[in-house]
């Protein structure tokens, strides 16, 4: 676990594993209820992020998150006309072009998975 995240977890009041012989390898002892601690953690996280942003800190890097965590980079090919059209649509929706493409790809994947689940040929559409 990233040390900055671990520090916030400690400050929020979570019980952490130390060097106990029965330590399952996790940092947080999840055998407890953490309703109040989760609220406190959220407050601390928001406060910390706002302070880091104000200081110009790379917030994802601070918390050990790389730009591609959970995502893949792919290259898409559009004609100039298609690109202009899609950029205009993204602008109208007040989102970045990259976000627009990401949402379109996610929708296409969901539709493909749904067709596969229903035993339909994805190429039939």
Per-residue pLDDT of the chain (125 residues; tens, 9 = 90+): 889 999 999 999 999 888 888 877 678 988 889 999 999 999 999 999 999 999 999 898 899 887 665 667 778 888 999 999 999 999 999 988 888 988 898 899 899 988 888 876 555 55
Whole-number pLDDT of residue 125: 53
| pLDDT value, residue 76 | 84
Q: Directed axis angle between helix 80-92 and helix 97-117, to 10°?
A: 100
Q: What is the pLDDT of residue 2?
A: 87
CA distances from 104 to 32, 46, 75 (A): 41, 30, 14
pLDDT at 19: 80
Q: Give the integer Cα–Cα distance in Å for 100 and 86.
A: 8
Does the predicted TM-score (pTM) go above 0.85? Answer: no
pLDDT at 69: 55
Query: Are 86 and 101 in contact, with CB atoms under 8 Å apart?
Result: yes
**pLDDT confidence of residue 68:** 63
């Amino acid at each position: 676990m990233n040390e900055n995240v671990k520090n916030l977890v400690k400050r929020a009041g979570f019980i952490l594993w130390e060097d106990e012989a029965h330590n399952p390898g996790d940092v947080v002892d999840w055998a407890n209820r953490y309703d109040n601690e989760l609220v406190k953690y959220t407050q601390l996280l928001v406060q910390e992020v706002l302070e880091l942003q104000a200081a110009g800190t790379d917030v994802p890097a601070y918390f050990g998150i790389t730009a591609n965590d959970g995502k893949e980079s792919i290259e898409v090919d559009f004609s100039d006309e298609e690109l202009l059209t899609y950029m205009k649509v993204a602008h109208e929706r007040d989102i970045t072009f990259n976000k627009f493409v990401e949402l379109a790809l996610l929708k296409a994947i969901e539709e493909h998975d749904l067709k596969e689940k229903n035993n339909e040929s994805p190429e039939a559409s």
